[in-house]
Every structure is written in C-alpha cells, then in structure tokens.
C-alpha cells in the first residue's frame, strides 16, 4: 500500500529495508508532548487567521488532547509504517476526527515541525539540568560549610603540594558547576527561538502569524530566515558542547572519589547506598557510581562528535541526515542528567575521614612553602634564596626521616641563621591554611564565608526542587 501522507505520487509501498532505515518512530516518539503542543499552537493560529474554521480547530484540539492521553496511558499504538511521531499523531487524528485532521498540516511541513519539537525538547532538558546542577551545587556547598576548616592535602601532579581545606575543595566544584549552568543558560537563549511557520524551507503563501505561535510555545521570537529555521541544528550542538564540558567536570570529581575512597587514601567513605560489593572478594566496597559518571562522559562527548559529523558539509536546507540528530542527543542528555543526580547523591552520602586527611595533609613536607614565605616576610630574604634555604630544610628532614616540625632548633639554625625558633609559628598544617587569606585562598574563614554566600545565592534557585 502506498503512503497515505504522500501516496498521490506513489503506486507502491517501501521496501522493508527502506522502512528500516527511514523510520524514526522508535526513538522520536519521545517528542510526542512537544509535537502535540506545537500542533495545538499551529491549529489555534490557523483558526485565528481564518485559514481554517474554528470548528475544525476545535476538533483538532480535542483530538490532539485525546492522543496525548492515549500516549500517556500507553494505549497508543505507534506504527513504523507511519515513519515518525509527526505522521503517527496526524494519522491517529484522522481516525479520531475525520477529514478536519487533514487541515492541520496547512502552512506547515515536517521540517519546521521537527525543528520546533526538538527545540522544545532541548529547552525542557536544559531547564531540568539547571535544577539538577543547582541541587548539586547546594550539596557541595553544604559539605563545604560543614567542613570549612578540615585540613586535607592539596595536590599538583597528584603529589602533595600544600594543605587546603576540604571545604575549599568542594567549593571548587561549585564554581565549575556554576559555569556549566551559565553555558546551558546561554545555549538556551539560542535554543528558544521558533522555526514554526518556516514550512518546508521557503515560508508559506498563507497569512500565518509566526509571532503568535512563537509566543504560544514560550519561544522568545520567530526565527528570521526560513532556510536557517529548518536547517539549523547548532542549538543541539551547543547544548551537547555544554553537556560535554559539564560531564568532563563531573568526571574530575568522580575520579577523585574513586581515588579518595581507596584503602590507600581513605579520605572519604560512601555508605552502602552508594557502594557496591564484589561477587568474589568479600572485603570490597566499590565506588561504581563514581566510575560510571567518569565513563558517561564518553557517550556525551561522543554525541557531540557524532552530530558535528552529521552536520558537517550538509547543504541547505533540510536533509534527512538531520534525523540522526535525535538518538545521540537523547542519550547524552539522559546521561548527563543521571550523572549530575548521581554525583549529588554521592556528595550527600559521603563522609570525609578527617583524621586520614589531616595526617596526609602534613605528609610530604607540604608546608615547605610556608617556611620560604616566612623567610621572605619576616627576614626580608628574596624569595629565590628563601626557596633554596627551604630546599635544604626539606633535604635534612628527608634524610632524618622526620616531618618538618620534628626538626630541632639546632637543625634549623644549622641550615641558615635566619631560621630562628620563631619559624615554628608557621610549621603546622592549620597555620598553613589559616595564612592563605588572599582572595580565593583556602583560609577556613574565607571558605566559610564563601560556602555561606553560595548557600544564600542558591536558595530559591530551584536547587531544592532539583
């Protein structure tokens, strides 16, 4: 049987392989709510402009509502022969309301329809991601406030560098997540413009009102150029780019959770709620959620690469290649949302092991820079000389197998006369972090103020609802 949407030009139906490669209904049925919303806005506008009768518009509206409830109740039967969500809905509409259904597609094409649906879908995802990221930030800021003065080693090259506080470390991720939210919010501005009414590619001869459909659907404006409207997918690309950067940020923390929860580090522990066991090794507690967040970045960045490759070199306007925009985007947007939620869960769940962190913070001569700074500040020594003198202090401690604060007054004085017993003022890890009062530094008072400021800022941003 030839297709009822375009059967006039065709005398037979598609080959099974044609249908297999062409049909998108298995995945684009996800767009049903957006598709129905777009159709309702379009039909109302057509009636307002006198392009269809208000009786037909009412029947269409009623039929679309029925379809929405059928789909939501799981009683709607999707058909591959009807290719995609647009034709599945329209065909059912014809069954429900008869010939009036045929008027819905006036002054519209599936090209502007799918672009509209997908923009609405991506916009919803961005809004959900923003709420999820706000909740993630809130969880981090709460941990930061709770442990604003808990000393831990700060690392460079994953080698102990200088002591920092656990709260400071948590707040670093709050800042990253905030830039991620900013990228999504910025993308949203360009997602939120309406292609509807561009029709197939050239616009339409009907006296439509594109401003009206744009505003009915919550878009900020209609897109200005009909060719661009149906062929643009940069709105998906930049959302995936924002998702990729966000995912990459999450993996950095996920990796730290994996390292920190190891028996070698023991900086944090996760409860049973966020750990898994081993089927063979009874002692194991594995941070699987963190590992999976680390891995999810693969499919998210992969989606960006996949769609970039689809779009590269595509001539204007619509090409069927663009149907391949959906699966990777759906998958990546699902994955990033789950990853953010799982990270939030782990942050809430995680208990820092304060003793282990404090012990590690002092190891590896991590306060050496404080000795050098003290020589500069108190003794007027040029920093390069102070660095050299301190290097000798570290070498001696290393040779004696002790920490810096275990060196004797004689040890210090023997290295350089400037190293009088007052040097002890800067030797502990608490003194070290307390001294880092510069803007953005790790001093506990800074961290507490920052954590409080964040919590205040996040209040009422939807973090709770996240």
* Whether 157 is catalytic: yes
28 or 149: whose CB is closer to ligand ARG? Answer: 28
Minimum distance from CB of 200 to ligand ARG (Å)? Answer: 7
User: Residue 38 CA to chain centroid, in angstroms?
Assistant: 27
325 or 416: whose CB is closer to ligand ARG? Answer: 325
Minimum distance from CB of 88 to ligand ARG (Å)? Answer: 10
Minimum distance from CB of 324 to ligand ARG (Å)? Answer: 8
CA-CA-CA-CA torsion sign (261, 265, 268, 272):
positive
The HSE-up count of residue 411 (CA atoms within 13 Å, CB side) is 19
Minimum distance from CB of 123 to ligand ARG (Å)? Answer: 17
117 or 130: whose CB is closer to ligand ARG? Answer: 117
308, 237 Cβ separation under 8 angstroms:
yes
Minimum distance from CB of 85 to ligand ARG (Å)? Answer: 8
Q: Which residues contact 293 (CB under 8 A, 6 or more apart)?
A: 250, 251, 254, 339, 342, 343
Give the closest residue to 85 by CA, choosing from 54, 110, 122. Answer: 110
Give the closest residue to 128 by CA, choosing from 184, 50, 54, 52. Answer: 184
**Does the bond joining 317 to the residue before it have cis omega, within 30 degrees of 0?**
yes
CA-CA-CA-CA torsion sign (248, 253, 254, 260):
positive
Query: CB-based burial of residue 178 (10 Å sphere; 0-12 exposed, 13-18 middle, 19+ buried)?
Result: middle
**DSSP 8-state assignment for residue 285:** -
Minimum distance from CB of 268 to ligand ARG (Å)? Answer: 45
Task: Give the Å distances, CA to CA, from 393 to 93, 201, 368, 399.
Answer: 83, 74, 8, 10
Minimum distance from CB of 114 to ligand ARG (Å)? Answer: 4
**Could you say which of 2, 54, 79, 278 is catalytic?**
278
Give the closest residue to 5 by CA, choosing from 89, 91, 85. Answer: 91
Minimum distance from CB of 449 to ligand ARG (Å)? Answer: 51
**DSSP 8-state assignment for residue 217:** T
**DSSP 8-state assignment for residue 33:** H
Q: Which two tokens stand for residue 80?
A: 């591959």
119 or 143: whose CB is closer to ligand ARG? Answer: 119
6 or 417: whose CB is closer to ligand ARG? Answer: 6
24 or 450: whose CB is closer to ligand ARG? Answer: 24
**Could you say which of 11, 157, 205, 279 is catalytic?**
157
Tell me the angle at which helices 234-260 and 288-311 cross, rounded to the nearest 10 degrees: 160
Query: CB-based burial of residue 135 (10 Å sphere; 0-12 exposed, 13-18 middle, 19+ buried)?
Result: buried
243 or 322: whose CB is closer to ligand ARG? Answer: 322
Give the closest residue to 61 by CA, choosing from 84, 36, 83. Answer: 36
Torsional class of 223: left (φ above 0), alpha (ψ -120 to 50), beta (otherwise): beta
323 or 367: whose CB is closer to ligand ARG? Answer: 323
Minimum distance from CB of 119 to ligand ARG (Å)? Answer: 13
> Residue 54: helix, strand or coil by DSSP?
helix
Q: Which residues contact 41 (CB under 8 A, 6 or more apart)?
A: 196, 212, 213, 216, 217
CA–CA separation, 330 vs 300, rounded Å? 10
Interface residue list for ligand ARG (CB under 6 A): 24, 28, 84, 110-111, 114, 318, 320, 322-323
Active centre residues (catalytic): 157, 278
């Amino acid at each position: 049987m030839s297709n009822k949407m375009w059967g006039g030009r065709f005398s037979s139906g598609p080959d099974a392989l044609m249908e297999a490669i062409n049909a998108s209904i298995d995945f684009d049925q996800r767009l049903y709510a957006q598709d129905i919303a777009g159709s309702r806005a379009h039909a109302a506008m057509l009636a307002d402009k006198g392009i269809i009768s208000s009786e037909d518009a009412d029947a269409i509206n009623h039929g679309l509502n029925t379809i929405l409830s059928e789909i939501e109740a799981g009683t709607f039967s999707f058909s591959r022969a009807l290719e995609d969500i647009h034709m599945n809905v329209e065909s059912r509409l014809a069954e429900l309301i008869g010939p009036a259904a045929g008027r819905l597609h006036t002054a519209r094409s599936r090209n502007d329809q799918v672009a509209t649906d997908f923009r609405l879908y991506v916009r919803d995802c961005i809004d959900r991601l923003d709420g999820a990221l706000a909740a993630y930030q809130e969880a981090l800021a709460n941990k930061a406030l709770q442990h604003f003065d808990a000393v831990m080693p700060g690392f460079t090259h994953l080698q102990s560098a200088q002591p920092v506080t656990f709260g400071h470390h948590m707040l670093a991720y709050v800042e990253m997540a905030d830039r991620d939210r900013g990228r999504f919010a910025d993308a949203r501005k360009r997602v939120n413009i309406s292609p509807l009414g561009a029709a197939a590619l050239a616009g339409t001869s009907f006296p439509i009102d594109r401003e009206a459909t744009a505003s009915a659907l919550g878009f900020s404006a209609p897109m200005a150029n009909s060719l661009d409207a149906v062929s643009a997918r940069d709105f998906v690309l930049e959302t995936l780019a924002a998702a990729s950067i966000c995912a990459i940020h999450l993996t950095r923390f996920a990796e730290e959770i994996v390292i920190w929860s190891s028996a070698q580090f023991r900086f944090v522990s996760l409860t049973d709620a966020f750990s898994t066991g081993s089927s063979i090794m009874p002692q194991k507690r594995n941070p699987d959620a963190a590992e999976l967040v680390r891995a999810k970045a693969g499919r998210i960045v992969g989606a960006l690469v996949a769609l970039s490759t689809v779009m590269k070199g595509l001539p204007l306007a619509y090409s069927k290649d663009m149907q391949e925009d959906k699966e990777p985007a759906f998958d990546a947007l699902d994955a990033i949302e789950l990853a953010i939620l799982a990270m939030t869960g782990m942050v809430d769940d995680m208990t820092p092991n304060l003793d282990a962190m404090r012990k590690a913070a002092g190891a590896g001569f991590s306060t050496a820079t404080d000795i050098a700074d003290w020589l500069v500040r108190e003794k007027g020594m040029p920093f390069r000389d102070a660095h050299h003198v301190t290097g000798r202090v570290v070498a001696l401690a290393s040779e004696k197998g002790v920490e810096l604060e275990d060196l004797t007054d004689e040890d210090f004085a023997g290295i350089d006369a400037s190293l009088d017993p007052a040097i002890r003022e800067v030797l502990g890890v608490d003194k070290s972090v307390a001294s880092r009062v510069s803007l953005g530094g790790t001093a506990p008072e800074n961290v507490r103020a920052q954590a409080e400021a964040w919590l205040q800022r996040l209040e009422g941003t939807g973090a709770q609802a996240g």
